[in-house]
Structure 1
Amino acid sequence: MLVERSLETQVSQAVDAWLTWLPRWEPSTHRGRVAPCRRCFGSPVLSAAGLGADVPHGVQHGLSTRVKTIVDRSVAEYTALNLPMLQAELDQQAARNRARSYRPTEGLEPEFEGLPLDPDPVPGAPFLFTISGLAEAADADIPALPPLTDEAKAALRQEVGLADDYANMVGREVCTILLHHRLRIQAAIGEYVEPQIEAMLEELTRSLDVPFDPHDPPAG
């Protein structure tokens, strides 16, 4: 019961933080991405929260990232207590990451975590450099982790499976808890998001109805 109450508190705090951020959200004006967000597309978390495909991705991402942090933290605690091989592997990877000279994905706000580091390329306009390219160059300077024996690989795969099972269990519990927050989530969408979307649609409708300035002189 302590774990359940702890999860309920964490989810409530995550929703509170998202609701505090939501009034600052504004629709994006840049070109949309072709590939869907792997974190948000088809997410059961967003379904439980009542954030469907009609809700802008930026709004979805801010909540899904905060909830993912809760699941990740729970799995990390479980791993530290029960899965020594996986924990040792994660510790080595963490040490390797800390040795990198350039870590652009660290310290981001939840609204930006997990998003691509660079915009989609424009045909005929190549980048002089990319953030992801700089990060890969820094990563290449760090020695690779030592190889594992076949027995160690098998044992590690088993522990990874246990961690995945635990993550799925926590995820289901989190989704159940989120159902109790749907009303205030929906109320916030109606107050802060829908008016901005409606305003954009009205502006688009006006620009389509009047594709040129009526004060311009007639052509010809």
Structure 2
Amino acid sequence: MERSLETQVSQAVDAWLRWVPRWEPATHRGRVAPCRRCLGSPVLSAAGLGSDVPHGVQHGLSTRIKTIVDHAVAEYTSRNLPMLQAELDQQSARNRARSYRPAEGLEPEFEGLPLDPDPVPGAPFLFTLSGLASEEESQVPSLPPLSDEAKTALRREVALADEYANLIGREVCRVLLHHRLRIHAAVVEYVEPQIEAMLSELSQALDAPFDPNEEIGF
């Protein structure tokens, strides 16, 4: 398991390193709500990506690492937790019954992010992707109810899955420590120059708020 995780983490970091040179700072209005996947993430701490690194750069790595943990937990569940696996299979079948699934098949850099931009006061949306997806989901039949005994057993298996996820997460963070130098070097080479250029441009705009060739009348 350890060797396999090391290989998977190394491949995830390699993929992230290939993507980082294509990253560009976002030019649109930032979101108000923080990303629940990245805020306080031990994965990002192990990778050395602190709060001074743009969220887009963080998210591209945290999502790739989360996929590794999710796959490990899925394999553990399929082998050891039959009731939870049955519930997940039913939920998967229910999801496949929806013809509109905008959150699926996204690139790692966009996976887990809100489907729609933050609303602007006084400018309501005609429709939203999340709203369309909710309408589609409401038309799919709900899962059958569980007995009290089944609920108790299911909670027990969910707790075991969470425990295993924490175990894999800690191991993944340990492996990530060995990649910190590679990750830091990529940030220095590709990310920091773009941030410095933005700050320089902003500083020049603040120092010269008016066009020097424009006549100012009083």
Q: Which of the five TM-score ranges fits, normalised by the shorter chain?
A: over 0.9
SS at 2:44 equivalent: helix
| Gap regions ≥5 residues in structure 2 | none
Corresponding residue for 2:134?
A: 136
Corresponding residue for 2:58?
A: 60
- Establish whether residue 115 from structure 1 lines up as the match of residue 117 from structure 2: no
Corresponding residue for 2:30?
A: 32
**AA paired with 2:149?**
E
Q: Shift of the alpha carbon at 1:95?
A: 0.2
- Establish whether residue 161 from structure 1 lines up as the match of residue 159 from structure 2: yes
What is the TM-score of this pair, normalised by structure 1? 0.99
Q: Percent identity?
A: 79
Q: How far, CA to CA, are the matches of 1:89 and 1:72 in structure 2?
A: 16
What is the TM-score of this pair, normalised by structure 2? 1.00
| Gap regions ≥5 residues in structure 1 | none
CA RMSD of aligned residues (A): 0.4
Q: How does 1:61-210 map to 2 (within 5 A)?
A: 61-210=59-208
Superposed CA offset, 1:42-95 (max 9, x none): 000000000000000000000000000000000000000000000000000000
Q: How far, CA to CA, are the matches of 1:199 and 1:217 in structure 2?
A: 29
Q: How far, CA to CA, are the matches of 1:105 and 1:120 in structure 2?
A: 17
Q: How far, CA to CA, are the matches of 2:74 and 2:101 in structure 1?
A: 21
Superposed CA offset, 1:16-60 (max 9, x none): 000000000000011111110000000000000000000000000
Superposed CA offset, 1:142-194 (max 9, x none): 00000000000000000000000000000000000000000000000000000
Superposed CA offset, 1:92-138 (max 9, x none): 00000000010001100000000000000000000000000000000
Q: How far, CA to CA, are the matches of 2:70 and 2:27 in structure 1?
A: 32
Corresponding residue for 2:11?
A: 13
Moved over 4 A (4+): none
Q: How far, CA to CA, are the matches of 1:34 and 1:53 in structure 2?
A: 16
Q: How far, CA to CA, are the matches of 1:26 and 1:191 in structure 2?
A: 13
Paired residues, what number?
218
